[in-house]
């Protein structure tokens, strides 16, 4: 396995041969460049022991099977848009701008089924009448939203896009279901993309995305959609809660995240060992390790944040990025791969040289 390369010094010019995306985008500033990062967690922190008092579970089981120690839980008055606005405001500050041309929000827990939550978030951020829409790809949502935001830049619709991942899973979990209650937490993270040059640090490689709808039942809320409207479900038969076949999802998550990450690295011209940081969706520590093992990547190159926040679904990657930068584990020049897997089934990966920025 080739040794990891030394990260470039912040702001150092790159040789053409080291350009992240040779030929990936036409010159003229249409490449999406990550230039701001913000995050927000609701203040209430719930430890494993607190859950063990309500459910038939234990700190030992949760830590050993998932790696999770705590998660943050929003209060009843807080909606996903509130989390998204907090993270979005911080990402704008991190990018040093008050204006963007579009807002893309990844979420599975919109404030309401209709309309989308992104326009409300844009309005609350004072962004005027910019285009704003939601993206639904469950735990892969942030990568799908990055792709959508990148497309807006590539097509010239926007020069700057706010991409947010926000979820309040505490509102869709069955309070009696120990298999999901212990895993998920609430939170939001956001980035700003701006139009730039494909050779700049922060320029995103093409997000590689996939889906397999034959696995639609593995992660699902059964009732409340057009297939089974709540009002038509037989008395007592409706199930409005989020359900997951964890064991099956585990296996597929490892395969898809590892293989797509390797493909994204290859598109960047990197071998697996060249990856300095793998920032994967924070579903389970055992999954992170298995992904690294399958990629033949040292496990310590994986960003780990789930011990403190659990699985925050669409918010997971930007929250893990902010945590890694704040802790000095992710620095300018690092060859970074983002990857996720979630309901749909959906998955994706994207590579970039980490830029110089200060998360807020
Ligand atoms: O974010 C989207 C993608 N999601 C994922 O990638 C999640 C992937 N899956 C996972 O992380 C794991 O499958 C879980 C953490 C969800 C479950 O871990 P597992 O090792 O796969 O456990 P299991 O579902 O196979 O269950 C093993 C046992 C069962 O008992 P029996 O049938 O062996 O008697 C469960 O009932 O553990 C039991 N169990 C629990 N025990 C104590 C399930 N949840 C709990 C719990 N506390 N919270």
Give per-residue pLDDT as tens, 230-247: 876 666 789 999 999 999
Rounded to the nearest 10 degrees, what angle do helices 285-295 and 246-267 cross at? 40
Q: What is the pLDDT of residue 252?
A: 97
Q: What is the pLDDT of residue 236?
A: 73
Q: Is the CB of 57 under 6 A from ligand 1?
A: yes
From the CA of 313, give the closest atom in ligand 1: 1
Question: Widest CA span of the chain, in angstroms?
Answer: 66
> Residue 179 Cα, ligand 1 centroid: separation in angstroms?
6
Within 13 A of 130's CA, how many CA atoms are on the CB side? 27
Q: Please state which architecture CATH assigns to domain 208-353.
A: 3-Layer(aba) Sandwich (3.40)
Counting as low any pLDDT under 70, the low residues of the chain are: 1-28, 232-235
31-196 and 208-353 share one fold? yes
Q: What is the pLDDT of residue 25?
A: 43
71 in helix, strand or coil? strand
Q: Is the CB of 66 under 6 A from ligand 1?
A: yes
Q: Is the CB of 241 under 6 A from ligand 1?
A: no
Indicate which residue's Cα is closest to atom 19 of ligand 1. Answer: 247
- From the list 353, 357, 333, 352, the residue with the least C-alpha distance to 7 is 333
> Residue 329 Cα, ligand 1 centroid: separation in angstroms?
29
> Residue 237 Cα, ligand 1 centroid: separation in angstroms?
24
Structure token pair of residue 143? 């990568």
Q: Is the CB of 345 under 6 A from ligand 1?
A: no
Indicate which residue's Cα is closest to atom 42 of ligand 1. Answer: 57
- From the list 226, 276, 283, the residue with the least C-alpha distance to 252 is 283
pTM of this structure: 0.91
Q: What is the pLDDT of residue 151?
A: 97
Q: What is the pLDDT of residue 9?
A: 41
pLDDT in tens, 305-327: 999 999 999 999 999 999 999 99
Q: What is the pLDDT of residue 209?
A: 98
> Residue 277 Cα, ligand 1 centroid: separation in angstroms?
27
Q: Which of 311, 323, 350, 353 is catalytic?
A: 311
For residues 194 and 35, give the distance between their C-alpha atoms in angstroms, rounded to a whole number: 7
Q: What is the pLDDT of residue 28?
A: 55
* Burial zone of 150 (CB within 10 Å; 0-12 exposed, 13-18 middle, 19+ buried): buried
Q: Please state which architecture CATH assigns to domain 31-196.
A: 3-Layer(aba) Sandwich (3.40)
Averaged pLDDT of the chain? 92
Q: What is the pLDDT of residue 191?
A: 98
For residues 105 and 136, give the distance between their C-alpha atoms in angstroms, rounded to a whole number: 9
Domain boundaries defined on the chain: 31-196, 208-353
Q: Where are the beta strands (DSSP E) in the chain?
A: 31-40, 45-47, 70-72, 102-106, 132-135, 160-167, 187-196, 208-211, 219-221, 242-244, 277-280, 335-342, 346-353
Structure token pair of residue 196? 């730039």
Contact 315, 139 (CB under 8 A): no
């Amino acid at each position: 396995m080739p040794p990891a390369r030394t990260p470039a010094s912040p702001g150092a010019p790159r040789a053409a041969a080291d350009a992240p995306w040779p030929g990936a985008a036409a010159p003229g500033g249409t490449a999406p460049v990550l230039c701001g990062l913000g995050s927000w967690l609701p203040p209430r922190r719930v430890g494993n022991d607190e859950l063990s008092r309500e459910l038939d579970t234990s700190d030992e089981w949760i830590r050993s099977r998932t790696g999770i120690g705590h998660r943050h839980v929003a209060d009843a008055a807080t909606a996903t848009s509130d989390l998204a606005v907090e993270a979005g405001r911080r990402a704008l500050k991190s990018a040093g701008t008050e204006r963007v041309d579009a807002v893309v929000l990844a979420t599975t827990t919109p404030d309401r089924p209709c309309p989308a939550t992104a326009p409300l978030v844009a309005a609350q951020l004072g962004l005027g009448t910019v285009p704003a829409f939601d993206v639904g790809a469950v735990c892969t949502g942030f990568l799908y939203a990055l792709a959508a935001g990148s497309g807006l830049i590539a097509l010239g619709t926007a020069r700057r896009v706010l991409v947010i991942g926000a979820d309040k899973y505490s509102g869709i979990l069955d309070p009696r279901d120990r298999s999901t209650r212990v895993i998920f937490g609430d939170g939001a993270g956001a980035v700003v993309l701006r139009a730039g040059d494909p050779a700049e640090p922060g320029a995103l490689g093409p997000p590689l995305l996939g889906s397999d709808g034959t696995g639609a039942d593995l992660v699902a809320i059964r009732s409340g959609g057009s297939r089974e409207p709540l009002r038509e479900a037989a008395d007592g038969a409706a199930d409005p809660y989020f359900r997951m076949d964890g064991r099956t999802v585990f296996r597929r998550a490892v395969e898809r995240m590892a293989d797509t990450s390797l493909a994204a690295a290859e598109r960047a011209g990197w071998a697996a060992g060249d990856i300095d940081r793998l920032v994967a969706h924070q579903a389970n520590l055992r999954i992170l390790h298995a992904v690294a093992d399958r990629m033949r990547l040292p496990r310590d190159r994986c960003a780990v944040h789930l011990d403190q926040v659990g699985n925050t679904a669409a918010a997971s990657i930007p929250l893990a990025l902010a945590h890694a930068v704040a802790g000095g584990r992710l620095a300018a020049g690092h060859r970074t791969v983002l990857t996720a897997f979630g309901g749909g089934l959906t998955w994706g990966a994207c590579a970039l040289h980490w830029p110089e920025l200060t998360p807020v």
